[in-house]
Amino acid sequence: MLKTFLIAAGTLSTLATPVSAGFYVNGEFNQSHVGSDWNGSGIDLHVGYENTIGEKGSFYVQGGPYLSNPKGADDETNISAKVGGGYDVTEKLNAYTEVSVVTDDTNTWGSKLGLKYSF
């Protein structure tokens, strides 16, 4: 029964998915500096999925290992994830947002909210 459900769900999601939707991989290197002091770096190695919402919206969700290299501490591997989206306000103006997390004893959260104007 579970196998039938998964096949049906996969088939339906494939039929409902626009051409622009899909899975992707994303590697990202980040560093932190305060003034001239280096505070560490990290690498995201994510697998994600993106899709459209209607004619003007889009979203993505991605996650995977985060390779942390903090200043004055041992390197470690954690899990990180990001969820974001955008909306075309006009043909040239897009509003976007993102929420991210890196898991650890105390989770580190981040967020973005912005506007992108294309000429």
d(CA 104, CA 20): 34
d(CA 47, CA 28): 12
What is the predicted pLDDT for the residue at 3? 46
Q: CB 68: neighbour CB atoms within 10 A?
A: 19
pLDDT in tens, 29-57: 999 999 999 999 999 999 999 999 999 99
Q: In what order do the strands lie in the sheet with 57-70?
A: 22-34, 37-53, 57-70, 76-88, 93-102, 108-117
pLDDT band with cut points at 50, 70 and 90 for residue 14: very low
Average pLDDT rounded to a whole number, residues 75-87: 97
**Is the entire prediction scored with pTM above 0.85?**
no
What are the structure tokens assigned to 55, written together? 């004619």
- Could you give the C-alpha distances from 39 to 57, 74, 77, in angstroms and in order? 36, 13, 17
Spans of all domains in the chain = 20-117
